[in-house]
Chain A
Amino acid sequence: MRRALWETVVDLVGAAGPDDRASALLRVTSLDVAVPIEVVLHPTGDGPELLGDLPRWRWRGGLDEEPGRLTLHCREVSRDDRP
């Protein structure tokens, strides 16, 4: 079962986000992620929902579709400066 794209993005960004253990030492202030992604539009009652998840298989077979590529650029902001 593929996840919705928003869940995948939140998990990817959340995994590298600031935490209180690292806040006094070196910290990650920006993050660029480029990952292969399988995208499917899933029909729902409220219109199509975009599912986007990492490829299910590490090695692609001849019948598997080629995944797309998702690139994220994130940077650290204060809570009050969030978009």
Chain B
Amino acid sequence: MTDRDGGLPVEQFIQALTSQLDRVQSTMAMKARAGLPMTFAVKDLSLDLRTHVDMAGSVVRIRPAGPGDADASILHLQLTTITAPMIQENTRAPAADPDEPSLQDVLGDEEDQRRLEWAGVHTVSQLRDLEREGGEQALQRVSQLPVARLRAALARAAEPYVSRVVPDWRETGNGSGGDATPLLRVRGRNLRSESMPRVRIDGAAVPVIMAEEDELLVRPAAEQLGGTLVVETGTGRAAAFALALAVPGEPAGEQAGAP
């Protein structure tokens, strides 16, 4: 099956097979568009292979049976075509939060990302949900990635991040704005854990009025509209943001950070 054979994980084989069949359908569709009104479509396909099936930990590997090998297993794969509505029914929409890091960002490795995607995990939210529901061991079994790498990826995904800071004049007690110092809405992700986060601007504490996972409302002093804003969450993790808002009396707008 492979030229240098130690066998390969069965899902890699199936992935390679389905990609070939997708190619069959797209090629035949292309021929149909160019030709006759009636055409053949492959409805079902089955493949019988003589193989040996090995288990290496949680990985099921197959390797081809050798010549005259009487004890080989028969791998019988049967595939059928499915329609777009069937795909939609059986596919979980990857609802990635726009502020969420990508799998590539938290894994740092394309191969690891591919393995997770084969397992149906396309977003960091899905990765977290799977870990929450089944624990690290289940996650390892599904993704075939070492626990240490998954743990590191989940830790990176849990780090606080500030994407932008927006001045909020409505909550200052002076509806018309005037010379009052605005409150600041600090937006991002993982901005609070079990306890209230601590916010500092150039080392000086800033009172936190409200804290949500994706937004903090803080009350800076007039001289704290510029400098390095640091959000420290209850877990001891911190995110920094270079703050440079306009001073009171001047037009102030939203400030976005680099992703």
Contacts and interface: CB of A to CB of B under 8 A. Distances in A.
The yes or no verdict on A and B being binding partners is yes
Interface of A: 4-6, 9-10, 13-14, 16-20, 23, 31, 37, 39-43, 47-50, 52, 62-66, 68-79, 81-83
A68 B49 contact: yes
Interface stretch (B30-38, B125-133, B247-255): B30-38
Given A9-B24, A50-B17, A66 B42 contact: no
Contacts of B68: 62
A68 B2 CA distance: 14
Interface residues of B, number: 44
Interface stretch (B8-16, B183-191, B204-212): B8-16
B47 interface: yes
Contacts of B13: 41, 50
Interface of B: 1-3, 8, 12-13, 15-17, 19-21, 23-25, 27-29, 31-33, 36-50, 64-68, 81-83
Contacts, number: 137
A14 B1 contact: no
Contacts of A39: 1, 47, 49
28 contacts: A6-B21, A9-B42, A13-B24, A13-B28, A23-B36, A31-B40, A39-B47, A39-B49, A40-B2, A41-B13, A42-B3, A47-B12, A65-B50, A66-B50, A68-B49, A69-B48, A70-B46, A71-B46, A72-B44, A73-B42, A74-B41, A74-B43, A77-B38, A78-B37, A81-B41, A82-B32, A82-B41, A83-B82
B27 A79 contact: no
A18 to B, nearest CB: 5
A72 B1 contact: no
